[in-house]
Amino acid sequence: MKIQLDKESRIPLYIQIINQIKAMIFSGALPPEYLLPPERKLAEELEVNRSTILNAYRELKAEGLVHSRIGKGTMVVPYESKTEVSIRPPEHRLTWQYLLSDEACRFNDIRIIEMLRVNGDQPIISFATGMADPALYPVDEFYPDITYDIDKKKRALGHTLVEGCVELRKTIMKMQKEKGIDSLLEELLILSGSQQGLNLVARCLLNAGDTVIVQEPTYIGALQIFSNAGVKIISVPVEEKGMRLDIMETLIKKHKPKLIYVIPTFQNPTGTTMDLKSRIKLLNIAYSNQVPIIEDDAYGELRYEGNTFPSLKALDQYDHVLYLNTFSKTLFPGIRIGWMCGPKEIIHQLTVKKQLEDLHTSTFSQVFLTEFLKSGRFQVHIDESCRYYREKRDTMLKKLENSRIKGLRWVRPSGGLYIWCRLPLNISADTLLLKSKEKGVIFVPGSVFFLNNKGNEYIRLNFTYPTVKEIEKGMMILLNVIEEENKKNQEKIINKDSAICNPIY
């Protein structure tokens, strides 16, 4: 109980005390049966006469707000005495679990929630994140530009449009144009992270029972969103040049999917990239079957070697592609800003849904980001990141190459954040994770990116978040654990040719 007295006020001290205790009782800050401090103690604390407190308590009693119990002291009376009605406790406690919607019952996957929790733990070497290197965050460049501009500072705290700040959208339009995507302002929607975009797409296009086509393996967040939507997920295997388009054509004819979700460049988790020919073929399949494509281009900027291919969106002249991107991988994830680019009519629908979901994306994040992008430092940052990430990737690849573990295979990515590995025969990624975690190294087991618990022979290693030193140390530890497991297995089983294993692209 905190009371502040104004001894210079013309309001008598005991009245001030009464008013403040009364307010606390009415607001619930002093709940029923709360024991007020003894008069003497409160008098000392407030540096007033004991009689002042006595007067105040007497008045409160007269108003029926407190009463004295012998041996206990002065207590706040229960609400009923103040209102003539009393709280009648429910016969049964409410069982919230029985109230859940179909959607809530359908989906209860807490793996990403747990992953974000682990990230805080120390000391562990993590190949498990999907994050940029925090040491590269352009912190100083991101903050100061705005600090002296009172108008911008204020604008950053107010509402903006559901579609996103106009200036940010214009800046992104310009950036996209350099990548061959020519769009109008109304074709852009700023998102609270690209996760939101994918979810909005599901809300706007999918009914429970519909079908979607995805690459397999693919981004866990996409699998989650589609599972939550209650749709049938049909998967097309990933291969070196993107995905098995021959299979896709057949599957489309059979399942008549509502959409195709694809990460054409530096795919998560495999790191593979579709070449120009595959991109054109995919578009043609989509065109002839009238199926829209959701293109996720989160990693496209992070290329460490070789030619850039145009995005599907850049190739598409017929409004068939909805393009999704984010600043989480290129810059940092904490501002939660992504965007979507597509035909006006569907962007409008997504905007209507976005307004329901979060009104609009944080103006605060948007204004700072706009300033940063306009400073021209974004490309500098991308170039610098690519330089560092190339070194990190090469460090990890070298460790893999030097290990010479029988049956261990991996994909050499020309960009992105991940190296995708297939473990030697009979090693399970889940078991491996338990053992390597004990030794201080974590990664993501492959099954996370597959449907129906497949893929436990794969692991995904991130090389952008850890330092070069951590990569060296962590890979040594991890490879040793794999080696040990391998030896145990080879003692037990007849060695089989790795050719019968699942593919590694």
Of positions 62, 70, 150, 499, contacts its own copies by CB under 8 A: 150
Spatial separation of the C-alpha atoms in residues 31 and 472, rounded to whole Å: 59
DSSP strands (E only) in 65-123: 66-69, 73-76
Distances (CA, A) of 230 to 205, 207, 317, 353, 383: 12, 7, 32, 18, 41
Burial of 295 (0-12, 13-18, 19+ CB in 10 A): buried
Of positions 11, 185, 352, 434, contacts its own copies by CB under 8 A: 352
DSSP strands (E only) in 79-173: 125-126
Q: Residues touching its own copies: how many (CB under 8 A)?
A: 127
Which range in 136-144, 236-244, 442-450, 483-491 contacts its own copies by CB under 8 A?
Answer: 136-144
Of positions 314, 373, 396, 433, contacts its own copies by CB under 8 A: 314
Rounded-to-10 torsion of CA 73, 76, 77, 82: 150
Taking residues 387 to 406 in sequence order and writing x for each that binds its own copies by CB under 8 A, - otherwise, the string is --------------------
Q: Site residues for its own copies, window 100-119 (CB under 8 A)?
A: 100-104, 107-110, 112-113, 116-117, 119
Q: Site residues for its own copies, window 168-197 (CB under 8 A)?
A: 178-181, 192-193, 195-196
Q: For residue 308, what are the contacts with CB-CB under 8 A and spacing of at least 6?
A: 300
**Which one, 205 or 423, has the nearer CB to its own copies?**
205
Q: Site residues for its own copies, window 485-504 (CB under 8 A)?
A: none
Spatial separation of the C-alpha atoms in residues 449 and 420, rounded to whole Å: 11
Distances (CA, A) of 341 to 159, 191, 218, 323, 351: 22, 11, 21, 5, 12
CB of 479 to its own copies, least distance (A): 28
Q: For residue 57, what are the contacts with CB-CB under 8 A and spacing of at least 6?
A: 36, 39, 66, 74
Q: Site residues for its own copies, window 436-465 (CB under 8 A)?
A: none
CB of 173 to its own copies, least distance (A): 14
**Which one, 192 or 215, has the nearer CB to its own copies?**
192
Two tokens at 428?
């399970």
**Which one, 139 or 434, has the nearer CB to its own copies?**
139
Q: Is 167 helix (H, G, I), strand (E, B) or coil?
A: helix
Of positions 7, 10, 159, 492, contacts its own copies by CB under 8 A: 159
Ranges of H-type helices in 409-500: 429-438, 468-492
Q: Site residues for its own copies, window 354-383 (CB under 8 A)?
A: 355-365, 368
CB of 312 to its own copies, least distance (A): 10
Q: Site residues for its own copies, window 318-347 (CB under 8 A)?
A: 318-320, 331-336, 343, 345-346
Q: Site residues for its own copies, window 268-287 (CB under 8 A)?
A: 276-277, 280-281, 283-284, 287
CB of 373 to its own copies, least distance (A): 15
